[in-house]
Each structure stands twice: as C-alpha cells, then as structure tokens.
Amino acid sequence: CRTIEELQEKSRFVRITGAGLKESHPHDIYITKDAPNYSVPV
C-alpha cells in the first residue's frame, strides 16, 4: 500500500496459530551469532 488511505481500505486481519507461527520461522539451523534486533520465542 502506498498511502494510509489505501492501507485502511485494503488491509485485513489474518489469524495464525502458535504452531503456524513456529513453523513459519526458519528451523533446523544453527545460530552462530544472535541478532541484536530479533528474538525467537521459545
């Protein structure tokens, strides 16, 4: 969306389960250095 008005007209809510959120994150990788601006819920 390019403007606030367009965002208000076209936006919609999406419901996601805890399992879906967990599955949408990368998995089976090894973190070598933590990112200072991102944390993964355990």
Q: Which residues contact 14 (CB under 8 A, 6 or more apart)?
A: none
Q: What is the pLDDT of residues 1-42, one digit of tens each?
A: 899 999 999 999 999 999 988 888 877 877 777 788 877 666
The whole-angstrom separation of Cα 10 and Cα 6 is: 6
What global pTM score does this model have? Answer: 0.37
The whole-angstrom separation of Cα 1 and Cα 35 is: 28
The whole-angstrom separation of Cα 12 and Cα 7 is: 9
